[in-house]
Structures are given as C-alpha cells and as structure tokens.
Amino acid sequence: MSRRLLTHRRIENRMREPFRIAGYQFHSMPSVVVSLRQDGVCGRGEAAGVYYLDDDPGHMAAEIERVRPAIEAGAGRADLLQLLPHGGARNAIDCALWDLEAGLSGRSVCDMAGLGVAKPLVTTFTLPADTPAAILDRLASFPAAHALKLKLDGDLDADVARMRAVRVARPDIWLSVDANQGYGPESFDALAAALVENNVALLEQPNRRGEEAGLDGWRCPVPLAADESILDSQELERHASRFDVVNIKLDKCGGLTEALRMVELARKLGVRLMVGNMAGSSLAMAPAFVVGQVCEIVDLDGAWFLADDAVASSMYRAGTCVVPGGFWGGL
C-alpha cells in the first residue's frame, strides 16, 4: 500500500433561508470535509457534527488532527472505532474510508455493505417551527413531496396551530412532527391529543436528552422516535424499550460503520429504522443514503435547503432522493 494522505477543510453550507427549531435558529450548517488520497484514488467524507453537544468544526478539526498519523499509516474503519469516539470527526473519516475503499476496489459502498444496488428513496421534507403563514409559504416552495416533517418548538398552542395549518393544506400527506426536546412529561398527553386530531404518523423526540425516564409509563398514540436520546449502539441498547423508532444519524453515531451496526442491533431489539441528517451538503447525504436503503422512514432533505449545493438539484426528484452516479462511493 502506498502512503495515504489526509487533508481536511471547512465549508459554510449557507441555508437558503433561516431555519427554526426548538431552541435554535440556523442560518448555515458549517461542516468539515475529509479527503483521503491513496494510489491515485480520493475518498471523501463530510460531517457537520452534533450542535447540541458542541461538536463544531473546530472540535472536529482538532480530533481529525489527533488521529492523522494513524490514518495516514493505514488505520482502517475497525481501527477508527477505537481511535475516536462517536461524533463528527469519526463520521467524516469513516465515510472517506468507505469512499476510498470503493474507489480502490471498484465496488460500490452498497455492495460492500451487502445491500445490493441502491434504489431511490422517498424522503421527508422538513418544515420549520415558524408561523402557520410562513410554514405554508415554505411548503409551496417544496418539490413534489410525498412526506413531511414539521418542527415543533414546545409552545403547545403554537404547535397545534402549525399542525392544523399543514394538515388542512395537505390532508393527503404522510406527516411527522419533531419536538427537538421541547416538551416535558406534564405536556405529553395534551401533545398526544393534538397528534391524533391532526393525523400525525410519528412523534420524534418530545423529551430532553437525559430525561428518558420521563417517558416510562406513558403510552404515545403514534410511534415514538428517538433522535437526541440515542446517539450510538450503546444508547440504543439502553433506551430501546422506550422508543418505537430510532433515527440513525451518521454525525451522531460516528459514521457509516457504526450506523450499520445500529441497523443490525435495532433489528434484534425490534426497533424500527429511520435515517436522518444534520443538514450537511450532498456529500454528507450520500453515506446516509446507503443506510436509508434498509430504513422504513427516510429524512435526507438537508442538502435541498442549502444555497450553494450544486449537486442537490440532481439529488431530489418527485419527492425522492438519489445519489447521482459517480458522486460518492461508486453508487
């Protein structure tokens, strides 16, 4: 094996419009791109990190530099699981390793992962926690969506108004809501009633991270998905009994390698599969698209919201997402 060279850079990922969720408003989603060059082949991976864990580009860059000698000396994906904890730095390197291996072997990442030929996936498109009028304006600008995710902010009256506005506008569509840790146990029942009233198909992360015990004894009338509550395989095992669905994100778990481990564990535990993203570019979406091949729910619309993503226009069509040929991982 010739010597491997690791480089990394930061990109801004400006959003077309500000995007509001519970407790945050995003104008961009800065990320780090790792490139690994070996034998004339370049593998790439991108990570935005986990904003609510202070896993920002500066932290990711420092972590990448810390393991640079081992990676350039030939450390592989299994080694990386020991070299770095879950999070953005490991994600970017892990995905670059997958892409590099695909280029060197002439196989696709889907084939390497035992998933066959990749197929287009129906993805949700996400609406911000905004006023009903602003939400409906945003909805009108979406491509032909078959599924929607509505962000909530923890203000029950405002959240009910948001749900009603979307349901009236699109009575036909599959609709989920994401509370982003905005609710406490005292409001769960009232929120549940609103979900039933508005024919919501999935509730994502009502509770704060670390307060999962507050869900014990509560029966949600719709499937309950964990996002912030479950980062990786260890937390999946710990909290599986409290959730029906796990939202696997590569930035949280630390890459495609760990994501595929989570898929196998979730199947054993009887937890349904969802794949999501932290709003990075098309390069961040591509490895998650591989995970999406085995998921019931796909939420990979992040690149569509960016102002400067040249690949996104060919990634989303008729409510589906697909990785353009030759872009990443031999897909």
Q: Determine which one of 119, 149, 249, 252 is catalytic.
A: 249
Would you state the torsion angle of the CA atoms of residues 251, 254, 255, 260, taken in this order, to the nearest 10 degrees? -110
Q: Reply yes or no on whether 249 is catalytic.
A: yes
Could you tell me the sign of the dihedral formed by the alpha carbons of 243, 248, 252, 255, in that order? Answer: positive
d(CA 145, CA 64): 37
User: Which residues make Cβ contacts (< 8 Å) with residue 316, sequence separation at least 6?
Assistant: 123, 143, 301, 303, 304
Would you state the torsion angle of the CA atoms of residues 284, 289, 291, 293, taken in this order, to the nearest 10 degrees? 180
Q: Are 296 and 47 a contacting pair, CB within 8 Å?
A: no
Task: Specify the DSSP element, H or E, that contains 246.
Answer: strand 245-248
d(CA 313, CA 281): 12
Instruction: Give the orientation angle of helix 156-169 with respect to helix 188-197, to 10 degrees.
Output: 10
Q: Determine which one of 149, 151, 252, 268 is catalytic.
A: 151
Task: Specify the DSSP element, H or E, that contains 178.
Answer: strand 174-178
Q: How many Cβ atoms from other residues are within 10 Å of residue 141's Cβ? A: 9
d(CA 56, CA 10): 11
Task: Specify the DSSP element, H or E, that contains 148.
Answer: strand 147-151
Number of residues that make up the chain: 331
d(CA 256, CA 289): 10
Among 312, 270, 276, 313, smallest CA distance to 291 is for 276
Q: Token pair of 283, please?
A: 């390069």
Q: Catalytic site residues?
A: 151, 249
